[in-house]
Amino acid sequence: MPDNPAVELRELTKSFRVRRATGRGIAARLRDVVAPQTHAVVAVDRLSFSVRAGERVAFIGPNGAGKSTTLKILAGILHPDAGTVRVLGLVPSHERYALAFRIGTVFGQRSQLWYQLPPRDTFALLGRVYEMDATEHRRRIDMLVALFELAPLVDTPVRQLSLGERMRCEIAASLLHAPQLLFLDEPTIGLDVSAKATIRELLRTESDRQGVTLLLTSHDTGDIERVCDRVIVIHRGRLLWDGTLADLRRSYLTAKRITLWTEAERLDVGKPGVRVISSHSYRTELEVDAEMTSLGSVVDAALRQSAIRDLTVEDAPLDVVIRAMYADADAGGES
C-alpha cells in the first residue's frame, strides 16, 4: 500500500435489501405491502485497492458491477456494511462534510449548472457552497476560464451552449474549489470526437498542473486510454484487475492483428492459431494467436507466397480486451 494514498479500500462490502414479490393477486400484493419480503443483493464484495495522490485511474466494469456504489461510498453518500475506507485521510461515512470540501464530482449525465443562467452564476453559488474566500474565488475563476478557454462562454446562458462547451463549464465548476480528488462518471458521454479530445486533454493538464487525483468511470475506452495510467476493473462487486493499461493488454490478449499488402492478389497462410479477418484484393487482415504461432513465422509464410509491399501489426482495440476480460469473468462465475 502507498504511504499516503488518496483512496484506500480494504475488504469493502456493501449489499442492498431488495423487495421480492411473493405472488400475484390482491392478497399477495397486500402481503407485500404489509410484510414485504426482501433479499440481499451484494453490490460490492470484499473490494480492496488504493490510489496514490496524483494518480489517474480508470475504474471500470460492466453495468451493475458496483462502480457507482463504490463511488458513492467514497464520497460518503453511502455507508459500507463492512471493510474500511479512507479518502484523503478521512473516513467518508463519518466525515462526509469535511471530505466534501476536498473532493469534486463530474457526472456526464447530470448537470450542476443552472440551465437558464450563465455558468458564472453557478460559479458564484459554488463559491458560497464551498466557503471560498472572495479573492481566491475570483482567482480560481480567472485561472479556469483561461485554462478551459471559457471567456466567450462564461456569461452565456447554459441553454445556449453546445454539449461540449457545457461539459467544459461543468468540469471547471467541479474544479473551482481546488479539489484534491476528482470523481468522473462518463465525462465525455454524448460528445463529438473533437469535444472528447478537448475534455481528455484538459483533464490530463489539470491533473498534471495541480496534482489532482482522478478516478474515472467510463464505458468509452478512449477516455481510459487518453486520460488514465492505471486501470482497476471490477465485476460483480469484486476486483478483477488492477494494473497498467499495457499489462492489461499483455495479460488478456495473446492475439495480434497483422494487415498485409501483397503483390499477389490473395494469400493463404494456413497455420494453426491464424484466423483470416478479411481478405480483399492485395490486402489480407489476420488475427494471430501469439501463443500458438509466432508473428515471424506468419510473415515468413506470407513472404514465401508473395512479396510484401507493406504490413502493420496492432494490438486488438482496448474494448476487445475488456470484453474478453468480462467474458472470462462470466465464464469463471458460471462454472
The binder of other proteins chosen from 110, 139, 275, 280 (CB under 8 A): 110
3-state percent helix, strand, coil for the chain, nearest multiple of 5: 35, 30, 30
The binder of other proteins chosen from 30, 129, 151, 277 (CB under 8 A): 129
The binder of other proteins chosen from 72, 86, 219, 236 (CB under 8 A): 72
Q: Nearest distance from residue 73's CB to other proteins, in Å?
A: 10
Stretch that binds other proteins, among 106-114, 136-144, 285-293, 310-318 (CB under 8 A): 106-114
114 vs 326, which CB is nearer to other proteins? 114
237-253 exposure pattern, b = at least 16 Cβ within 10 A, e = fewer: bbbbbbeebeebbeebb
130 lies in the site for other proteins, by CB under 8 A: yes
Stretch that binds other proteins, among 125-133, 271-279, 291-299, 311-319 (CB under 8 A): 125-133
5 vs 80, which CB is nearer to other proteins? 80
Q: Is 190 helix (H, G, I), strand (E, B) or coil?
A: coil
What is the grid cell recorded at 44? 460490492
Neighbouring-strand partners of residue 181: 103, 213
Stretch that binds other proteins, among 5-13, 70-78, 273-281, 325-333 (CB under 8 A): 70-78
- Measured CA to CA, the distance from residue 59 to residue 234 in angstroms comes to 8
Q: Is 286 helix (H, G, I), strand (E, B) or coil?
A: strand
Query: Which residues between 133 and 172 bind other proteins (CB under 8 A)?
Result: 157
Q: Nearest distance from residue 19's CB to other proteins, in Å?
A: 11
Stretch that binds other proteins, among 101-109, 248-256, 257-265, 284-292 (CB under 8 A): 101-109
120-148 exposure pattern, b = at least 16 Cβ within 10 A, e = fewer: bbbbeebbeebebeeeebeebbebbbeeb
Stretch that binds other proteins, among 102-110, 231-239, 258-266, 292-300 (CB under 8 A): 102-110
Q: Nearest distance from residue 235's CB to other proteins, in Å?
A: 20
Angle at 234 between CA 231 and CA 240, to 5 degrees: 80
Pairing of strands 56-60, 213-217: parallel
Neighbouring-strand partners of residue 73: none
Query: Which residues between 9 and 68 bind other proteins (CB under 8 A)?
Result: 16-17
Q: Nearest distance from residue 127's CB to other proteins, in Å?
A: 8
Contact between residue 288 and residue 263 where contact means Cβ atoms under 8 Å apart: no
Q: Which residues bind other proteins (CB under 8 A)?
A: 16-17, 69, 72, 75-79, 93, 96-97, 100-101, 103, 105, 107, 110, 114-117, 121-122, 124-125, 128-131, 157
